Amino acid sequence: MMAHAADTRGRVEFRAVEIAFDGRRGPTPAVTRTTLTLEPGTFTAIIGPSGCGKSTLLNAAAGFIAPAHGEILVDGAPVRGPDPEIGVIFQQYALFPWLTALGNVDFALRRFGFSRAERRQKAMAALAEVGLRGQEKKFPGQLSGGMKQRVAIARTFAGRPKALLMDEPFGALDAQTRGSMHDLLSGVWRAHLATVLFITHDVDEALVLADRIHVMSSGPGRIVESFELSAARPRSAARFDAAQLAMRARILDLLRPAAEPAA
């Protein structure tokens, strides 16, 4: 299915974005002057060592924190705070434990003014899409980590965001579950055509999912190298092509502490 509308929706631009936190000796930059454009409908991964500012960059795009300099635009409009057009998926799932799986998805549907019956039907469909048919009445506490993240994915996509920000969403899952989550996310992403910014620690994960990979370095946080992937989908970490393997080696080199300039 070709959806031309999607080509014009969900362009995310970081323009000379600098983000600082108050340290003991005044504001310290966590991310320096970063310029980055996410084309509509693309999947961008950011990888980098712990503490290099990946989450900080994502939180600014989500409207949770304000940049000290520069601005972040979504389809030309500056981000001024959390916005349902910009979906967020958290590593800790952030499901509301007092609502059922269905209730959590329903929460995202409230903003559209659907009738109760429509909301219910759409929430059921969203959960079925992530493979949770029959689990609608369960509370998050009754679901495994992988199932919780499926609910979170269903919930976020139900809100029809133009852009989707994911901060190490599968970081807490075991390798096997993570593999099936990659397939699931690739499928849902293609069906909904959102622009994705995906943060990870895992090079293989980035190589399986992304169209473009940016490697960040710390002290202070910045993008040091970017890669374009053209490998056909669906992809698998077990069958990387030569380009992916070369990229993998290069990224691993970049991530090795010795390769980093002394901070």
Can you give the binding site for ligand ATP, defined by CB under 6 A? Answer: 21, 30, 48, 50-56, 221
Q: Which is nearer to another protein, 73 or 172 (CB)?
A: 172
Which residues are CB-neighbours of 92 under 8 A, at least 6 positions away?
172
- 102 touches another protein (CB under 8 A): no
Residue type, 75: D
Sheet-wide strand order for 77-78: 26-38, 12-23, 69-74, 77-78
Q: Which two tokens stand for residue 56?
A: 């900080």
Which residues from 54-83 bind Mg ion, rule CB under 5 A?
Answer: 55
Contact segment (CB under 5 A) with Mg ion among 47-55, 64-72, 187-195, 224-232 equals 47-55
* Closest separation in Å from C-beta 70 to ligand ATP: 16
Which residues are CB-neighbours of 69 under 8 A, at least 6 positions away?
16, 17, 18, 33
Handedness of CA 213, 216, 221, 224 (dihedral sign): negative
Handedness of CA 122, 211, 200, 171 (dihedral sign): positive
Contact segment (CB under 8 A) with another protein among 11-19, 133-141, 215-223, 240-248 equals 133-141
Q: Say which entry of Mg ion, ligand ATP, another protein, none residue 108 contacts (CB below 5 to 8 A, set by partner kind).
A: another protein
- 92 touches another protein (CB under 8 A): yes
Residues at the interface with another protein (CB under 8 A): 62-64, 81-84, 86-88, 90, 92, 94-99, 107-108, 110-111, 138-145, 155-156, 159
